[in-house]
């Protein structure tokens, strides 16, 4: 009972926060909001921690039902929460990072007139995200799934006076919706196949199916469309860079740490379905790898600090999908966790920089900030080292685990993945050096204005930096004398897939050391190159209209994918709309309808001339009529 | 007994309204009356739920030698629709208070008369009664639009009247034909009509007649061209009545009369009709993408949404049928909300042109919030009413054919596209000359909107109450139709 | 009675047909409204005679009762018809039906 109550309390706090803030949006003073909104998340976090401490991974997963949501005969969708290691891990990430970012936002949004509105949306987001990860069946996950999409929409377009931001928000929502349709269809196929949408029932049934079952392939592919939308994979990734229009804490929380990882969570949650569909796994692997490489490539050529991080997020999400496709569910979840730490930190650091520069986001106008903002610099550096995969920071371990699995799966996959991770190191160090080292390249007014952010913003940075640095310890592999804690913790969730999956022979330690060494050497070389190029030689700071090589042009313009979509999807659709309305609707269908009316009128107009007014003619016709009637009477 | 009171009470109100002269007293009287009617409805609901399957039947002879009787009753499906009607009419009346109409007594009298006719349609258990009330509903609708409508009202409402009337006549023919096919002694009683003996050929003709009649009313592509014009030209109250309640008559007619009576033909020709419905969803959604007039945009979105409902009715699966019933209620609520918001915008800015507006959220944040909430219901976000309906409908259609479901599902995407576009262009962005000095919602306007919002979330979060009410009767209809 | 039945029924038929055709022809070719009315009377009377003849032939009085009805109706019709013709003449000074073609289209 006690347990039950705590489970319901976790999402209840943010919901309460949202409702209170939403209702009193004009009357609640800022100071109260500044305590209330993070406070609610803190309460959630505490509840989660209590749940976590009282939870033992070996205990069976628990389902807590709140009420019956939709029930018609066999279709029974309870509003129920599932508590198992996977959801607890996600809960910890969401509430933990959510809390830190809420605290940070208090400082970041201090001057904003929409302070209350911002925090009500943020609380609503955390609530939705909690539903997403806690749901005990697909529809409840879908509530959260669409809910976070809505919050993302509201927060990207938070500064709604600017139509460009609004367009970005709309784009994010619509692209997510395309994925959501896939998710919906996936759910329907699950229901028609298993006659239930409950995780436990579905997974239990699926366990008995043969690998390669076409229905399972269909289900997993449809669900993956949803995941591709939410987690910004090819072909539905273009919304995420635009989503940087939102306030920076939003980018950190929603578009880096939590919401965009929903796709990974969903695949990990449905691991048994995926492990039984090798075809889908191959699709996921190719998509993930392609996305990882493509986004990393684009990131190299971007100059907007947040856009670089956005492409980096897309790229890292691609890695997670690569990990999933290689069957490394724990590895993917591990990387998801560490990524949440260091990417949130990167965004918050970027926010701190933007804050200090009064809204400037172009890294060409930054530089030399390490003196002015030492705390931001140090934490940002920690995150950069972590994401680049340099030991002993967290990113190294999680990325290494995925790379090792990829090598087991196919050495070719490993080669590409390493190429991506070299690019990651390059653009991240480029970002770091251009922003923090060298001389300040902005205006004098801005130089005078430079300042370290207040404590309310730097303390979250420090907390996240600690997590990003030591986060790797939660799943330290045996190779380094660790106990692979996360692996052990998540074991019950992935056990069934583990027994189904074909066991590749684990790599011998020597090979592992070798692969690691090669990767690490490459990463360090990249860092050095970036340092040489951007700090020592000050290259790559071309103005917008400078002549560029072909590769630079393509990368700068994001490989023209947005233009391509405009050409292939948006324009034809608009043309079709015009065609339907102006030609089919007005000139064809409506004309037929009106035509029937005017036909009657025209017939009447023609036929009325028979009424000549000549009585003799009438009588003649009358008699003719009588004769005809008689005649036909005889005939019939 | 309650059933017949539900029909007669608005009629009495409608007549009494004509006697009133003072506008203030008139408003008070009309709104009070409509609320009492809603109260009666609640009583009927309670009675129905506590003693299930009593059907609240009322029966009296009338033209007995012609087989016509005054048979009215309510099963779960009727009950929900009558509840919808009696719930929406007070809101529509309340929303009309901000307008100063010419001849207000006549206007409100017609509104109440319309309510009577709609309740009659949803409760008639006699074929001829159904037809009579069906046509009776058209008369006030015509006058409301033709007298208080926009500039082009005469031509548009004439078309609307003739179009829907022509469809209804087909239904009359079908009913009379059915009458002569019922077992002796002939009657129009619903049970007798269900028992009518028909050859497959006859079924096909009856089906066609019914389908065209209902398809015009719903409207299903390609019988829809009267609808956008009429919604656009009608006064706000007229649009709400037409879109919120009147088009449910068509879907209700399909469920109550068409499916059980010509079930053989439904199985045979249903797929063809389904193709029309699904094509209409895509067609109307695509057209809505480029509309500039808010009302016209909502009108096309409505064609898409009801196309989905019609498709759900035609696939004959329990989930789709339940979805159709719940979505009828949800759509009624959402579209009335949308028209209400559009009317509020138009009152403030004197325009409905999306490209002229913008930045309303700055001066009228409450309006923007309410608009957003209704919009969420309309684009079927989970935990709003639209989601329950669309989820069940698409699931039911999926059980019939995955392909149709996927095509119909594009409404999920498109509705987000055009609705968010409309929202962005009207509410968000910088303010301009037109929108710079708008005022926010008044208490009365909020009072009209809040019940709608409550319903959006009630149905979305706890649809069980509504689903359970309709379930036994949906099963019955399906058992006839199979 | 005896005279009627003494003549074979076929004579009546031929006679009445001829009479009816004369009436029809008169209606069709005459332009004077008065004469048309008279021709109509001729047709009615040919029917009357035929009804009377058949009544005698079949020994059924119903036919003769019918004749009385028709005579009453015809009288009323002529009265109204003539009144209309008179009124028309007063206003147009003509009873030529070709001139009276204002009621058209």
Structural domain boundaries in chain A: 309-542, 563-635
A58-67, A393-402, A585-594: least confidently modelled range: A58-67
Mutate to test the interface with C, among A609, A610, A616 (most CBs of C within 10 A): A616
CATH ID of C2-92, from 3.40.50.150, 1.10.287.3510, 1.20.120.530, 3.40.50.800: 1.10.287.3510
Asked if residue A478 has pLDDT above 60, the reply is yes
State residue C3's pLDDT score: 61
- For residue A171, what is the nearest residue in chain B, using CA coordinates? B417
Asked if residue A1 has pLDDT above 60, the reply is no
Shortest alpha-carbon distance between residue A618 and chain C (Å): 10
Other CB atoms within 10 A of residue A62 CB:
14
State residue A503's pLDDT score: 58
Asked if residue B319 has pLDDT above 60, the reply is yes
Q: Which chains touch B (3 or more CB pairs under 8 A)?
A: A
Q: B399 at the A interface (CB within 8 A)?
A: yes
Asked if residue C1 has pLDDT above 60, the reply is no
Shortest alpha-carbon distance between residue B9 and chain A (Å): 35
Chains A, C: CB contacts within 8 A come to 32
What is the average pLDDT across B61-78?
86
Chains A, B: CB contacts within 8 A come to 128
What is the average pLDDT across A382-404?
88
Shortest alpha-carbon distance between residue C2 and chain A (Å): 34
Which of A189, A192, A581 lies at the smallest CB-CB distance from B287?
A: A581
Q: Which residue in A535, A543, A365, A364 sits closest to A445, CA to CA?
A: A365
| Burial track A519-553 (b if 16+ CB lie within 10 A, e otherwise) | bbebbeebbeebbebbbeeeebeeeeeeeeeeeee
Number of C-alpha atoms within 13 angstroms, CB side, residue A392?
Answer: 9
- Quick one: DSSP state of residue A508? P
Query: Predicted ipTM?
Result: 0.92
> Tokens standing for B314?
């035609």
pLDDT in tens, B335-367: 999 999 999 999 988 888 998 888 888 888 899
pLDDT in tens, B382-434: 999 999 999 999 999 999 999 999 999 999 899 999 999 999 999 998 888 88
Cα dihedral B30, B33, B37, B40 in deg (nearest 10): 170
pLDDT in tens, A560-584: 888 888 888 889 999 999 999 988 8
The region, left, alpha or beta by phi > 0 then psi within -120 to 50, assigned to residue C50 is alpha
Q: Which residue in B186, B168, B185 sits closest to B177, CA to CA?
A: B186
Q: Which residue in A91, A77, A192 sits closest to A134, CA to CA?
A: A91
Distance CA B223, CA B127 (A): 24
Distance CA B331, CA A524 (A): 60
The answer to whether the Cβ–Cβ distance between B283 and A580 falls below 8 Å is: yes
- For residue C31, what is the nearest residue in chain A, using CA coordinates? A616
What is the average pLDDT across A435-447?
83
Q: B361 at the A interface (CB within 8 A)?
A: yes
Asked if residue B52 has pLDDT above 90, the reply is no
Measured CA distances, B438 to B342, B444, B445 (Å): 14, 17, 14
Is the model more confident about A60 or about A417? Answer: A417
- pLDDT > 90 in chain A, percent: 49
State residue A14's pLDDT score: 94
Distance CA A291, CA A279 (A): 18
> Tokens standing for A295?
């986004």
Query: Residue A57: which pLDDT band, with cuts at 50, 70 and 90?
Result: low
Those residues with Cβ within 8 angstroms of residue B84's Cβ, 6 or more apart along the chain or in another chain:
B244, B245, B248, B328, B329, B332, B333
> Which residue has 């017609």 as its token pair?
B110
Asked if residue C2 has pLDDT above 70, the reply is no
Distance CA C57, CA C66 (A): 15
What is the average pLDDT across B474-480?
88
Asked if residue A410 has pLDDT above 90, the reply is no
Average pLDDT, chain A: 88
State residue A504's pLDDT score: 61
Q: Can you say whether the dihedral through the CA atoms of A151, A156, A160, A163 is positive or negative?
A: negative
Task: Please list every residue in chain C whose beta carbon sits closer than 8 Å to the beta carbon of residue A624.
Answer: none
Q: How far is CA B274 from the centre of its chain?
A: 20
DSSP B190-247: HHHHHT----HHHHHHHHHHHHHHHHHHTTPTTS-THHHHHHHHS-HHHHHIIIIIIH
Mutate to test the interface with A, among B160, B162, B225 (most CBs of A within 10 A): B225
Those residues with Cβ within 8 angstroms of residue A484's Cβ, 6 or more apart along the chain or in another chain:
A475, A476, A477, A478
State residue A154's pLDDT score: 93
HEC secondary structure over A443-486? CHHHHHHCCCCCHHHHHHHHHHHHHHHHHHHHHCCHHHCCCCHH
State residue A102's pLDDT score: 94
**Domain positions in chain B:** 268-482
B279 in Cβ contact with B249 (< 8 Å): no
State residue C5's pLDDT score: 63
B144 in Cβ contact with B155 (< 8 Å): no
Distance CA A590, CA A599 (A): 14
Asked if residue B37 has pLDDT above 90, the reply is yes
Q: Which chains touch C (3 or more CB pairs under 8 A)?
A: A
Query: Residue B108: which pLDDT band, with cuts at 50, 70 and 90?
Result: very high
What is the average pLDDT across B435-454?
89
For chain B positions 415-474, those within 8 Å of chain A (CB to CB) are: 416-417, 420-421, 424, 427-430, 461-464, 467, 471
Asked if residue C4 has pLDDT above 70, the reply is no
> Tokens standing for C22?
């004369």
- For residue C32, what is the nearest residue in chain A, using CA coordinates? A616
Shortest alpha-carbon distance between residue A596 and chain C (Å): 23
Task: Name the helix (H) or strand (E) containing B392.
Answer: helix B385-400
Asked if residue A169 has pLDDT above 70, the reply is yes
Asked if residue A6 has pLDDT above 60, the reply is yes
HEC secondary structure over A384-409? HHHHHCCCCCHHHHHHHHHHHHHHHH
Query: Residue A488: which pLDDT band, with cuts at 50, 70 and 90?
Result: confident
Query: Residue A173: which pLDDT band, with cuts at 50, 70 and 90?
Result: very high
A140-144, A500-504, B173-177, C17-21: least confidently modelled range: A500-504
State residue A65's pLDDT score: 87
Which of A72, A143, A581 lies at the smallest CB-CB distance from B382?
A: A143
Which of A609, A616, A623 lies at the smallest CB-CB distance from C105?
A: A609
């Amino acid at each position: 009972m006690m347990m039950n109550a705590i489970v319901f309390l976790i999402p209840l706090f943010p919901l309460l926060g949202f409702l209170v803030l939403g209702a009193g949006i004009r009357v609640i003073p800022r100071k109260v909001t500044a305590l209330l909104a993070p406070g609610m998340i803190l309460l959630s976090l505490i509840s989660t921690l209590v749940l976590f401490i009282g939870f033992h991974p070996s205990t069976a997963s628990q389902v807590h039902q709140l009420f019956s949501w939709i029930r018609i005969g066999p279709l029974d969708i309870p509003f129920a929460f599932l508590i198992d290691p996977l959801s607890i891990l996600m809960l910890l990430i969401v509430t933990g990072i959510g809390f830190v970012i809420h605290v940070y936002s208090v400082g970041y949004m201090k001057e904003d007139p929409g302070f209350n509105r911002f925090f009500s949306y943020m609380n609503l987001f955390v609530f939705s995200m909690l539903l997403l990860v806690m749901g005990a069946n697909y529809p409840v996950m879908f509530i959260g799934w669409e809910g976070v999409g809505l919050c993302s929409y509201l927060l990207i377009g938070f500064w709604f006076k600017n139509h460009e931001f609004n367009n970005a928000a709309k784009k994010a929502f619509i692209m997510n919706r395309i994925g959501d349709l896939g998710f919906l269809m996936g759910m329907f196929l699950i229901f028609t196949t298993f006659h239930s949408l409950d995780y436990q029932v579905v997974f239990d049934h699926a366990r008995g199916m043969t690998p390669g079952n076409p229905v399972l392939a269909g289900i997993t592919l449809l669900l993956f469309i949803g995941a591709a939308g939410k987690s910004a994979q090819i072909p539905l990734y273009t919304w995420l860079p635009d989503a940087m229009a939102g306030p920076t804490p939003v980018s950190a929380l929603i578009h880096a740490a939590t919401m965009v990882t929903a796709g990974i969570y969903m695949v990990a949650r449905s691991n048994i379905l995926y492990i039984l569909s090798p075809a889908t796994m191959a699709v996921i692997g190719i998509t993930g790898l392609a996305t990882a490489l493509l986004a990393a490539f684009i990131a190299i050529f971007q100059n907007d600090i947040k856009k670089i991080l956005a492409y980096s997020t897309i790229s890292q999400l691609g890695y997670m999908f690569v990990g999933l496709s290689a069957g490394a569910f724990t590895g993917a979840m591990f990387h998801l966790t560490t990524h949440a730490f260091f990417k949130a930190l990167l965004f918050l650091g970027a926010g701190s920089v933007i804050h200090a520069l009064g809204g400037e986001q172009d890294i060409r106008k930054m530089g030399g900030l390490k003196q002015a903002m030492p705390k931001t610099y140090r934490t940002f550096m920690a995150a950069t080292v972590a994401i680049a995969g340099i030991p002993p920071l967290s990113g190294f371990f999680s990325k290494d685990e995925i790379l090792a699995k990829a090598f087991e799966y196919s050495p070719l996959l490993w080669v590409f993945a390493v190429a991506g991770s070299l690019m990651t190191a390059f653009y991240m160090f480029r970002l770091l050096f251009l922003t923090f080292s060298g001389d300040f390249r902005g205006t004098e007014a801005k130089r005078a204005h430079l300042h370290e952010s207040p404590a309310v913003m730097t303390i979250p940075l420090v907390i996240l930096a600690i997590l990003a640095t030591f986060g790797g310890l939660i799943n330290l592999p045996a190779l380094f004398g660790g106990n692979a804690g996360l692996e052990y913790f998540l074991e019950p969730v992935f056990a069934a897939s583990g027994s189904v999956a074909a066991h590749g022979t684990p790599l011998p330690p020597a090979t592992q050391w070798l692969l690691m060494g090669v990767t690490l050497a490459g990463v360090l070389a990249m860092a050095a190159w970036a340092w040489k190029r951007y700090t020592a030689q000050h290259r790559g700071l071309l103005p917008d209209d400078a002549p560029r090589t072909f590769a630079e042009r393509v990368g700068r313009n994001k490989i023209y994918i947005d233009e391509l979509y405009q050409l292939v999807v948006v324009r034809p659709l608009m043309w079709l709309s015009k065609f339907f309305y102006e030609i089919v609707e007005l000139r064809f269908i409506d004309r037929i309808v009106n035509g029937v009316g005017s036909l009657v009128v025209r017939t009447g107009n023609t036929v009325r001339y028979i009424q000549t007014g000549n009585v003799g003619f009438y009588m003649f016709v009358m008699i003719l009529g009588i004769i005809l009637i008689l005649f036909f009477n005889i005939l019939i | 007994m309650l059933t017949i009171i539900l029909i007669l009470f608005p009629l009495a109100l409608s007549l009494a309204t004509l006697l009133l002269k003072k506008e203030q007293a008139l408003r008070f009287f009309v709104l009070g009356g409509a609320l009492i009617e809603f109260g009666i409805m609640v009583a009927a609901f309670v009675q129905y739920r506590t003693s299930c399957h009593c059907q609240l039947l009322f029966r009296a002879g009338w033209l007995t030698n012609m087989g016509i009787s005054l048979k009215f009753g309510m099963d779960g499906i009727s009950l929900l629709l009558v509840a919808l009607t009696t719930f929406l009419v007070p809101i529509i009346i309340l929303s009309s208070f901000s307008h100063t109409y010419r001849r207000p007594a006549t206007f409100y009298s017609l509104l109440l008369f319309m309510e009577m006719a709609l309740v009659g349609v949803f409760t008639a258990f006699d074929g001829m009664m159904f037809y009579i009330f069906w046509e009776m509903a058209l008369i006030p609708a015509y006058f409301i639009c033709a007298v208080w409508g926009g500039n082009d009202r005469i031509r548009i409402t004439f078309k609307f009247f003739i179009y829907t009337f022509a469809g209804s006549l087909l239904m009359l023919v079908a009913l009379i034909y059915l009458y002569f096919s019922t077992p002796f002694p002939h009657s129009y009683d619903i049970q007798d009509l269900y028992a009518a003996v028909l050859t497959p050929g006859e079924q096909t003709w009856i089906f066609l007649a019914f389908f065209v009649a209902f398809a015009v009313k719903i409207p299903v592509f390609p019988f829809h061209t009267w609808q956008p014009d009429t919604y656009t030209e009608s006064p706000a109250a007229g649009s709400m009545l037409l879109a919120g309640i009147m088009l449910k008559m068509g879907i209700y007619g399909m469920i109550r009369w068409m499916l059980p009576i010509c079930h053989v033909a439904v199985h045979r020709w249903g797929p063809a009709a389904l193709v029309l419905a699904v094509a209409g969803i895509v067609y109307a959604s695509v057209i809505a993408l480029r509309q500039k007039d808010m009302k016209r945009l909502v009108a096309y979105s409505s064609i898409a949404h009801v196309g989905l409902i019609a498709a759900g009715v035609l696939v004959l699966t329990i989930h789709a049928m339940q979805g159709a019933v719940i979505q009828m209620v949800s759509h009624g609520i959402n579209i009335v909300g949308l028209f209400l918001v559009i009317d509020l915008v138009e009152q403030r800015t004197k325009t409905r042109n999306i490209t002229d507006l913008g930045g309303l959220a700055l001066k009228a944040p409450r309006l923007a919030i309410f608009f957003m909430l209704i919009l969420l219901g309309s684009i079927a976000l989970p935990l709003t009413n639209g989601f329950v309906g669309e989820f069940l409908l698409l699931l039911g259609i999926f059980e019939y054919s995955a392909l149709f479901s996927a095509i119909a599902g594009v409404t999920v995407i498109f509705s987000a596209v055009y609705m968010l576009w409309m929202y962005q262009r009207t509410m968000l962005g910088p303010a301009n000359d037109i929108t710079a000095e708008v005022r926010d919602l008044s208490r009365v306007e909020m009072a009209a909107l809040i019940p709608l919002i409550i319903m959006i979330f009630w149905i979305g979060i706890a649809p069980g109450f509504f689903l359970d009410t309709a379930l036994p009767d949906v099963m019955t209809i399906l058992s006839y139709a199979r | 009675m005896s005279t009627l039945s003494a003549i074979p029924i076929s004579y009546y038929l031929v006679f009445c047909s001829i009479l009816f055709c004369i009436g029809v022809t008169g209606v069709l070719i005459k332009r004077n409204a008065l004469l048309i009315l008279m021709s109509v009377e001729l047709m009615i009377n040919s029917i009357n005679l035929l009804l009377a003849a058949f009544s005698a032939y079949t020994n059924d009085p119903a036919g003769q009762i019918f004749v009385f009805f028709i005579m009453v109706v015809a009288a009323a019709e002529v009265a109204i018809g003539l009144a209309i013709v008179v009124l028309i003449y007063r206003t147009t000074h003509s009873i030529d039906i070709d001139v009276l073609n204002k009621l058209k289209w």
